[in-house]
Amino acid sequence: MLGVGVKLFLFQPQTGNIISVFRSAAEKSLSVQQLIDGQEMLVLVLVLVVLQFEGTRGEELHLYHREGENVVLPSERPSSSYRCSIVNWLYNRDTSTIYSEVRNGKVVQSSPRASRLNMDSSCSLTINNITADDAGRYICRPGSGSHTSLDGFVYLSVLSISDSDPTMEHFTLQCSLWKYGGLDSCSEKSFRWLDETGTELTGKTDDRSSRLRCYSSLTVKHQSDENRRFTCQLVEGNKVKVEAQHIQVHLYHRAGDEAVLPCNRPSSSDSCSSVDWKYKRNENMNKQEVHRGIVQSSPRSSRMSLDRNCSLIINNINADDAGWYRCSYNTDVHLNLLIISSSPPDADPTVNNFTLACSLLRFRSGSCPDKSLLWLDETGSELTGEGDGYKSGGQFGCVSFLTVNLQSSRRFTCQFIEGNKVKIEAHYQHEGCCSVSSSGPPASSPLSFIMLTLKITGLILMVGLTVGIIRTRGRKKPQKDIKVRFAADDDTVDYENDGERSAAAALH
């Protein structure tokens, strides 16, 4: 529907200012006399009468998204008759320089974000995997020219979270809102921090503001016995505009397990092509295992893959896999590995004493609390000090020793306990041998012959039963043990126990 628009310019002689006023002809309640009422007489000059599509004047649209999401900037086309081939998209971060992102319906390849831009059939502009550098003002302009009355303005603000060093005991999270430089600064208390229970964290923040961004800092303490989630919310008028999360996950496994390391990828992302995974085994080691969704070449790359959620899967884990992992979407995963070994490895337990070592391999090898590694016998009784067939060697850092002398079948269990919870356990099983002694009449008597025959028959039966049991055991599937499963759905993060494929945790 067409409507007549009138553009009026008011000239004020005393100040020399020219004031532009635009009103639709439909606003009949506004008269020229009302425009010039006041203490000072203004000279009204009718400069131009224009035709304009009613309601097509580009409105200001403000969008808020978190880093890593895909964003659609809607086009303010006057009507369906406008072809996208005449549409231009412009961008500027502040009030000074303006850049062309789309010219005559085609993405400008010289743009730093060209590979992530796409214009759909409605002339809306899509930006994939947004970063802080994408924040700013976008102008949708149908037709050529330096300025038209049909311009549509979209202001994109991007929320991101960064950290100082999450491997340290105390580290700082910084939540930043990147915005267009011509907008007002953020108001006080624009940011709100929540923990994994939804409880607001107060008295620990430091809020700042500048022309291009507003930010809030939160200092937290690393706690290895808990999975933590810190949420930063941008609030305007008691309404949450956007939020971002920083997640810490602690996984505990045994050698040979399959480990699934979760990644907090935004739900709007349609692929893992922007996902990176980094790995640290210690302070002096920093490797990139996955870059842009591709597993990098390394001695263990054949055991690594990404699932559809961009989680990192490591098969048949061993001592080389323990450490700290970082997904590019603000998720830190600490992979801890519990193993039992014997010293010497080929010791004969029926003759010699030998020592079992229970080790928890983690990013900080000496960061296990005292008495966090416990030894239990097959009855579940804790083994401390010295007792029948064993002697405790104590705990040193993340290693605990137990000296044993096995004369029969016995099982020893090592548990890692933190926060009064058993995080993981492993078993050492020794199968002892049996000896049979007999006494009776001399072998030359008939009774001796009968007894010998019975013994041979019994021995044959025992061998047959043993072979059958071994074959039956070989066909059985391993029993499922403890597994920690991580599930993320948009703004919800759950941690729960589930069954897993058990590996050969017992070392013989």
Q: Is residue 242's pLDDT more than 70?
A: yes
Cα–Cα distance measured from residue 221 to residue 204, given in angstroms and rounded to the nearest whole number:
12
Look at residue 226 in the predicted model and tell me its pLDDT: 79
Q: Is residue 330's pLDDT more than 60?
A: yes
Max distance between CA atoms of the chain, in angstroms, equals 145
Cα–Cα distance measured from residue 201 to residue 99, given in angstroms and rounded to the nearest whole number:
40
Radius of gyration of the chain (CA): 36
Q: Is residue 30's pLDDT more than 60?
A: no
Q: Do the beta carbons of residue 80 and residue 88 sit within 8 Å?
A: no
The domain made up of 59-254 is a member of CATH 3.40.190.10? no
Same fold, 59-254 and 347-433: yes
Q: What is the mean pLDDT of residues 85-111?
A: 92
Six token digits for residue 193: 């921090």
Q: Do the beta carbons of residue 183 and residue 93 sit within 8 Å?
A: no
Ramachandran angles phi, psi of 210, nearest 5°: -140, -175
Confidence band, pLDDT 50/70/90 cuts, at residue 163: confident
Q: Is residue 458's pLDDT more than 50?
A: yes
- For all residues of the chain together, what is the average pLDDT? 76
Q: Which residue has the tokens 């970063």?
A: 131
Cα–Cα distance measured from residue 188 to residue 475, given in angstroms and rounded to the nearest whole number:
67
Cα–Cα distance measured from residue 270 to residue 274, given in angstroms and rounded to the nearest whole number:
10
Helix and strand numbers (H, E) in the chain are 2, 35
The dihedral of CA 467, 469, 470, 472: what is its sign?
positive
**In sequence order, which residues have a C-beta less than 8 Å from that of residue 237 and are 6 or more positions away?**
none
In 30-86, at which residue ranges do the beta strands (DSSP E only) sit? 43-53, 60-66, 71-73
Q: Is residue 347's pLDDT more than 80?
A: no
**In sequence order, which residues have a C-beta less than 8 Å from that of residue 106 and are 6 or more positions away?**
none
Cα–Cα distance measured from residue 265 to residue 268, given in angstroms and rounded to the nearest whole number:
8
- The residue that leads in pLDDT, 244 or 495, is 244
Q: What is the mean pLDDT of residues 427-449?
A: 47
Cα–Cα distance measured from residue 433 to residue 277, given in angstroms and rounded to the nearest whole number:
49
Q: Is residue 399's pLDDT more than 50?
A: yes
Q: What is the mean pLDDT of residues 234-251?
A: 93
CA-based nearest residue to 310, from 282, 270, 281? 270
Q: Do the beta carbons of residue 426 and residue 336 sit within 8 Å?
A: no
Ramachandran angles phi, psi of 117, nearest 5°: -105, 150
CA-based nearest residue to 432, from 508, 349, 316? 349
Q: Is residue 340's pLDDT more than 50?
A: yes
Look at residue 204 in the predicted model and tell me its pLDDT: 65
Q: Do the beta carbons of residue 360 and residue 337 sit within 8 Å?
A: yes
Least confident among 174-178, 276-280, 310-314, 368-372: 368-372
Q: What is the DSSP secondary structure assignment for residue 382, as one 8-state letter?
A: B
SS (HEC) of 323-351: EEEEECCCEEEEEEEEEEEEECCCCCCCC
CA dist list (Å): 120 to 14, 90, 124, 126, 157: 51, 16, 6, 8, 22
In 237-316, at which residue ranges do the beta strands (DSSP E only) sit? 239-254, 259-261, 277-280, 287-291, 294-295, 304-306, 312-314
Six token digits for residue 10: 């008011």
Look at residue 366 in the predicted model and tell me its pLDDT: 67
Helix or strand or coil: residue 460? helix
Six token digits for residue 152: 């549509």
CA-based nearest residue to 90, from 138, 153, 154? 138
Q: Is residue 243's pLDDT more than 80?
A: yes
Helix or strand or coil: residue 431? coil
Least confident among 98-102, 184-188, 235-239: 184-188
CA dist list (Å): 51 to 4, 5, 23, 76: 5, 6, 12, 18
How crowded is residue 398: how many other Cβ atoms within 10 Å of its Cβ?
21
Task: Bin 353: left if φ > 0, else alpha if -120 < ψ < 50, else beta.
Answer: beta
Q: Give the domain ranges of the chain.
A: 2-53, 59-254, 347-433
Return the CATH architecture of domain 347-433. Sandwich (2.60)
CA dist list (Å): 433 to 349, 350, 408, 436: 11, 9, 7, 10
Q: Do the beta carbons of residue 312 and residue 329 sit within 8 Å?
A: no
Q: Do the beta carbons of residue 207 and residue 235 sit within 8 Å?
A: no
**In sequence order, which residues have a C-beta less than 8 Å from that of residue 406 and are 6 or more positions away?**
349, 350, 389, 430, 432
- The residue that leads in pLDDT, 220 or 466, is 220
Percent of the chain with pLDDT over 70: 67
CA-based nearest residue to 399, from 373, 381, 376? 373
- The residue that leads in pLDDT, 6 or 163, is 163
Cα–Cα distance measured from residue 116 to residue 391, given in angstroms and rounded to the nearest whole number:
64
Q: What is the mean pLDDT of residues 278-299?
A: 90
Output b/e per residue, 195-211; b: 16+ Cβ within 10 A: ebeeeeeeeebeeebee
Least confident among 153-162, 172-181, 223-232, 475-484: 475-484
34-79: per-residue pLDDT in tens? 433 443 333 333 233 233 333 334 568 999 999 989 999 998 765 5
Least confident among 63-77, 135-149, 168-182, 304-318: 135-149
Look at residue 171 in the predicted model and tell me its pLDDT: 86
Look at residue 297 in the predicted model and tell me its pLDDT: 94
